[in-house]
């Protein structure tokens, strides 16, 4: 994206020299499907666009408040759901770019606009006149003959106002405003610090003998990184495509430890990028919000609107899985320790040894490693396979459209069509790490879905990953884990692309946080199915279909380290709940708190230099606070749901149609358990998950 000085543009606008209609964010886009005109958007357009969009949104809200007619579902609840569309469009574009194509200028804009957006939201949710209108409609809900979706919108609107402070005193409303504004800025700072830490670290190695054990592909990628920065040798960083193979294969233990500590100590060094105080302050502010609203802790507040319902529900799940997993994890660790000692290792296995020795044992036990599989997972073939699965299940097709602007040349834009040829969605894919991209993988939308005046306004969805790049001699060859990640994020994308709701706030992924991972995690199940892999897993050189014996090895190895992987995920859930069940502000050591929180599931010695909390973006810069358990909760759902596909047929159109109709299309229009039971015919049980994981 081009960049010019934001403040110059604002000054010129104040003089009337730059008109609002010259800002591409404020008019009709004139692109296919009104997709974001990334080729015309400059950083300097965002702040003026936000200010104009807020102005329009405020006018729309004022019109609702000043309506002299009796409050009705249409003139109040629906009108409020439709208000702020320009702001939603602007924010959708901006915050997606902030995650996937950021720079210092965008980060500065985010810091400036975040409190403005928080004020706008608070001005709505804390407005007594608006709340009185919502209450008036809510009081007559039993006489309104509303549809299920309409009733959900009304319920969400009323409860949403209450949960955002509408019943507070004026003094407490002011306090709520202060807290939420500070929270929004701190969350941005937290994420920026982690990204800067990630980008700042480099390990340049010029002596190739130190890289013994590293596969050819990883060596070539490291050489490519060095060359891109005009350096000689092999360059490593702590992005996943660099970090994971390094930890799995490098024989040099000192180097593994160095990289492990670089990764584990992000924002935990006591410098300007340290997040320890941010963690404590964010937790404290969330607790203050909870107490203002009458809750003992933040988890009580959050979980009231989740399937788990309360902390007891979460701990019940975590503890049940702990009982099934922990002893298995200890047995797995003992096995790895014994194997390492047989290999000449002397001492206790440490975290920087785990991937290395567990990978070697995996090869010995199953004759399988990433390098054996990667030639069959060339990125373009995987794309065809994943898209083809959606076509097989749901009848949808994908067509690249080069006329849809993209924000980076590596991004591809598609039109998505339903089986009857009707347009469903714009879909963007963004696969590889860059300096301006956050780590990890995610799905989001630039524009949601809704229906208005008989028109179904379709969504614009993106998935962003950090997959292995192509090298000078090889195309992008994915690891099996990356294939699973692709399927996972694509499942979220299906949830967005197939949305079929009337109201935008109930559409697509606007569901309970512990339900949102079901559509994503169920997709991962196909990754180990030979009938699926045969469709696309072709050797990038020979075209040979992945051999049956290799697929059998994948299946056989699926439960390798199942206990360890389970307790690792549980540790994050316990840590999350510890921070968010606090009933008094925490002022002690973040590191000590963390170690105590997940002590029961830790199988390695404490590493003083590493800290998870200071880099845990899901909790402190994302939307998973008091909700990280949702990944395990959704595993129960996805295993149970996929068992129906296994029973009726891997590509059963009957089961797929039921999943689409009751889960993917419905969004948050009904309670998720109602939707799930309508699809499955029964409530889920943990049986399928324990069986799949080999933990029963």
Which residues carry out catalysis?
489
Q: Which candidate, 182, 186, 197, places its Cα nearest to that of 274?
A: 197
The answer to whether 44 and 8 are in contact (CB under 8 A) is yes
**DSSP output for 603-652:** -S---TT--SGGG-HHHHTSS-TTTTTHHHHHHHHHHHHHHHHHHH-TT-
What is the rounded distance in angstroms from the CA atom of residue 18 to the CA atom of residue 44? 12
Q: Concatenate the DSSP letters of all residues of 389-420 into one string.
A: HHHHHH--EEEE-TTS--SSTT-EEEEEE-TT
72, two tokens:
């009705």
Rounded Cα gap, residues 79 and 76, in angstroms: 5
- Residue 462 pairs in a beta bridge with 428, 444
Place of tokens 């430890």: 257
Residue 442 contacts residue 486 (beta carbons within 8 Å): no
545 secondary structure, DSSP code: B
DSSP state of 378: B
| Residues 345 and 353 sit within 8 Å (Cβ to Cβ) | yes
Give the chain's length: 696
| Burial classification of residue 678, based on how many CB atoms lie within 10 Å of its CB (0-12 exposed, 13-18 middle, 19 or more buried) | middle
Question: Strand 460-464 vs strand 423-430: parallel, antiparallel, or unpaired?
Answer: parallel
- Whose tokens are 């899901």? That residue is 618
| C-beta pairs of 298-301 under 8 Å, 24+ apart in sequence | 298/580, 298/581, 298/582, 298/625, 298/626, 299/577, 299/580, 299/581, 299/626, 300/581, 301/163, 301/626
Q: What share of the chain is helix, strand, coil (3-state, %, to 5)?
A: 60, 5, 35
Q: How far apart are CA 558 and CA 691, in angstroms?
A: 12
Residue 302: its H or E element: helix 298-303
Residue 470: name the closest of 380, 571, 363, 566 by CA. Answer: 380
Question: How far is residue 354's CA from residue 335's CA, in Å, rounded to a whole number?
Answer: 11
Number of neighbours of residue 102 by Cβ within 10 angstroms: 19
Cβ–Cβ < 8 Å for 48, 9: yes
How far, in Å, are 442, 469, 498 from residue 463 at the CA level?
6, 16, 15
- Token pair in block for residue 320: 């049940």
Distance CA 115, CA 432 (A): 31
CA distance 181 to 56: 21
CB neighbourhood size of 109 (10 A): 19
**Three-state secondary structure call for residue 538:** strand
């Amino acid at each position: 994206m081009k960049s010019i000085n934001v403040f110059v543009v604002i000054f010129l606008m104040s003089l009337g020299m730059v008109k609002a209609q010259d800002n591409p964010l404020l008019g009709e886009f004139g692109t296919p499907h009104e997709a974001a005109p990334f080729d015309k958007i400059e950083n300097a357009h965002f702040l003026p666009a936000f200010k104009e969009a807020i102005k329009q949104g405020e006018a729309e809200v004022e019109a609702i408040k000043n309506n002299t007619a009796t409050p009705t579902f249409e003139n109040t609840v629906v009108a409020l759901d439709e208000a702020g569309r320009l702001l939603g469009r602007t924010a959708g574009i901006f915050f997606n770019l902030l995650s996937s194509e950021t720079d210092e200028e965008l980060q500065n804009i985010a810091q400036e606009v975040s409190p403005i957006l928080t004020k706008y939201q608070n001005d709505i949710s804390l407005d007594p006149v608006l709340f009185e209108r919502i209450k008036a409609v809510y009081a007559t809900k039993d006489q309104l003959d509303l549809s299920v979706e309409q009733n959900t919108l009304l319920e969400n609107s009323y409860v949403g106002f209450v949960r955002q402070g509408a019943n507070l005193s004026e003094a407490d409303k002011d306090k709520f405003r202060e807290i939420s504004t500070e929270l929004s800025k701190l969350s941005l700072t937290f994420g920026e610090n982690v990204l800067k830490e990630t980008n700042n670290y480099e390990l340049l190695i010029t002596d190739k003998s130190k890289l013994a054990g590293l596969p050819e592909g990883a060596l070539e990628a490291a050489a490519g990184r060095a060359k891109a920065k005009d350096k000689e040798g092999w360059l490593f960083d702590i992005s996943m495509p660099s970090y994971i193979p390094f930890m799995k294969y490098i024989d040099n233990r000192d180097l593994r430890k160095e990289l492990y500590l670089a990764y584990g100590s992000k924002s935990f060094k006591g410098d300007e990028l340290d997040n320890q105080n941010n963690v404590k302050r964010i937790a404290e502010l969330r607790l203050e919000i909870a107490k203002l609203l009458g809750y003992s802790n933040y988890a009580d507040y959050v979980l009231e609107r989740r399937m788990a319902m309360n902390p007891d529900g979460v701990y019940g799940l975590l503890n049940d899985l702990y009982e099934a997993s922990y002893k298995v994890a200890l047995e797995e660790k003992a096995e790895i320790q014994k194997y390492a000692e047989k290999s000449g290792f002397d001492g206790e296995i440490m975290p920087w040894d785990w991937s290395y020795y567990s990978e070697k044992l995996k090869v010995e036990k199953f004759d399988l490693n990433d390098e054996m599989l990667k030639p069959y997972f060339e990125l373009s073939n995987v794309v065809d396979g994943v898209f083809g699965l959606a076509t097989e299940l749901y009848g949808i097709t994908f067509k690249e459209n080069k006329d849809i602007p993209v924000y980076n040349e590596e991004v591809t834009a598609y039109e998505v069509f339903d089986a009857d040829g009707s347009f469903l969605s714009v879909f963007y894919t963004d696969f590889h790490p860059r300096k301006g991209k956050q780590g990890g993988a995610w799905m989001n939308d630039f524009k949601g879905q809704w229906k208005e005046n008989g028109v179904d306004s379709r969504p614009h969805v993106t998935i962003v990953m950090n997959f292995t790049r192509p090298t000078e001699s090889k195309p992008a060859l994915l690891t099996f884990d990356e294939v699973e990640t692709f399927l996972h994020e694509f499942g979220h994308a299906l949830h967005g692309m197939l949305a079929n709701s009337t109201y935008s706030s109930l559409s697509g992924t606007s569901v309970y946080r512990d339900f949102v991972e079901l559509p994503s995690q169920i997709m991962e199940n196909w990754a180990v199915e030979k009938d699926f892999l045969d469709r696309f897993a072709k050797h990038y050189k020979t075209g040979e279909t992945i051999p049956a014996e290799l697929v059998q090895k994948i299946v056989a190895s699926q439960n390798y380290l199942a206990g360890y992987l389970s307790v690792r995920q549980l540790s994050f859930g316990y840590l999350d709940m510890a921070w968010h069940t606090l009933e008094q502000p925490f002022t002690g050591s973040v590191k000590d708190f963390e170690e105590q929180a997940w002590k029961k599931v830790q199988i390695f010695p404490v590493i003083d230099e590493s800290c998870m909390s200071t880099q845990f973006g899901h909790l402190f810069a994302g939307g998973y606070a008091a909700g990280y358990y949702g990944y395990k909760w959704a595993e129960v759902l996805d295993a149970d749901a996929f068992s129906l596909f296994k029973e009726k047929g891997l590509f059963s159109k009957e089961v797929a149609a039921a999943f689409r109709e009751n889960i993917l299309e419905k969004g948050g229009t009904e309670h998720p358990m109602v939707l799930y039971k309508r699809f499955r015919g029964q409530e889920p049980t943990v049986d399928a998950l324990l069986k799949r994981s080999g933990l029963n």
